[in-house]
Amino acid sequence: MGASKKDLPSGDSPALTLTHPTDAEKVATWKLNGASWRGALSLPSYLRREEHLANQAFTRNGGLTFWILVDGSSPSSPDKPRKVLSSCETLRKRALVADEEGNIEEVVCQGVGSVFCAPELRERGYAGRMMKELGKELERWQQKEQTKCQFTVLYSDIGKEFYARNGWHPFPSSHVALPPVSSFDQIYQERSLPQSRPLYASDLAELCDTDEKLIRRSLSLQPSNKKTRLALVPDVETMAWHHAREEFAANELQLREPKIKGAIVGNEAGKRAWIIWTRTWNGDPYRKDDTDNVLNILRIVVEEEEDVGREDFHDLVNTTNGDSSSSPNDGAHMRKSVQSVASLLLAAQKEATKFDLSEVQAWNPTRTTTQAAKVAYPAVAAVIERDSQSIASLKWYGSGSVLDEVEWIGNEKYGWC
């Protein structure tokens, strides 16, 4: 595509331009990055998947934007296409931002994904230049008139330094990992866990709506740390986009249909707990020991606990009520939450067994989830801190230092893009 390497501009050239690709250029970028990212899919299948994911409710009508870095001084024509130096995409996400007084604003956040530079074009500064230009462009992109973006996110698979240099600062990125289980019913009985039941796609809209209300309630409480708090909204469109990915892969690879989307404990609204998951096949789907095949937990919710991803929730509630002591019911309440989540994690482990997945992962677990993991599988290791893969990173457009001033609520797998 275009010029020879000796004719390429430097990464700091003023001629470099961030723009949107033509349809042909978009497909060309998919063919390039597909060589690295298609996993078990054939390249034709990967191209179909990208087109499929670009036409979900989450991504239609401007929800997905493609970007390329090109040499703006180089002439192009149908016979001489532009040389794509680097490429990426952004997904429009609903988000909430609360100030230190608990005032909530719904905002548009962009999630940056599919950042790619062809191997022969690396070490020339193109990806870094693209990210710098993109950071400036996203400040106003798809925002209401006279407003600017408050934050954008991405998930780095190349460590923390590159994106931090370009304004996206790494946030805590950890997970608990649980193996598949075969003695499912026996473990339930031994642990005296509440029974869970499966969730299907038709169940998720109501649960996601309830989850958003819980997040808004949590954000409305004044925090003791005086930080600005923000959260990506775990709406049903986001979940459906994740599930479209797994369903496409299962169909192309002729695997079992992934009908079950999660599990729930309890029937009474306000006293339930649930988990939403997705299956990821990045390795050989027919090898049980391939560690790239994982059941990822997208979201864990405990209604009664109202802990939507914040470690300091109970302290915050007690402070708000003017009481620094714990409630007498806190211990029993915590045990109930832990037992419920343990039951849900076991359901996820059972599902991993059914699909021959290597493990279950829950990102950035709360205290409840960490304790529940030890109930579900007592031999579970400590929480795993990631330092190179899927590093949650955030670019803050507000005042002050992002790490000193901002708390990211519910930083779980559903936000990944």
pLDDT in tens, 140-182: 999 987 788 999 999 999 999 999 999 999 999 999 999 999 7
Contact 129, 69 (CB under 8 A): yes
Mean pLDDT of the region 225-239 = 95
Other CB atoms within 10 Å distance of the CB of residue 390: 15
Q: Which residues pair with 199 in a beta bridge?
A: 262
Q: Distance between CA atoms of 304 and 170, rounded to whole angstroms?
A: 31
- Whether 262 and 414 have beta carbons less than 8 Å apart is answered as no
| HEC string for 2-24 | CCCHHHCCCCCCCCEEEECCCHH
Q: Residue 182: what pLDDT?
A: 79
Q: What is the pLDDT confidence band of residue 323, given thresholds at 50, 70 and 90? A: very low
Please report the pLDDT score of residue 70 as a whole number.
97
To the nearest whole number, what is the mean pLDDT of the chain? 90
Per-residue pLDDT tens for 58-87? 999 999 999 999 999 887 777 778 999 999
pLDDT at residue 6, as a whole number: 67
Q: What are phi and psi of 128, to 5 degrees?
A: -65, -40
CB 71 within 8 A of CB 17: yes
Smallest CA-to-CA distance from 308 within 412, 228, 209 is with 412
In degrees rounded to 5, what are phi and psi of residue 394? -135, 135
**Of the candidates 148, 151, 156, which has an alpha carbon nearest to the alpha carbon of residue 113?**
156
Q: What is the arithmetic mean of pLDDT over 382-397?
A: 95
- Reported as a pLDDT band with limits 50, 70 and 90, residue 330 is low
Q: Which two tokens stand for residue 100?
A: 């230190």
Q: What is the pLDDT of residue 329?
A: 57
Cα(219)–Cα(102) distance, integer angstroms: 6
Q: How far apart are CA 60 and CA 334, in angstroms?
A: 41
Lowest mean pLDDT among 194-203, 255-264, 332-341: 332-341
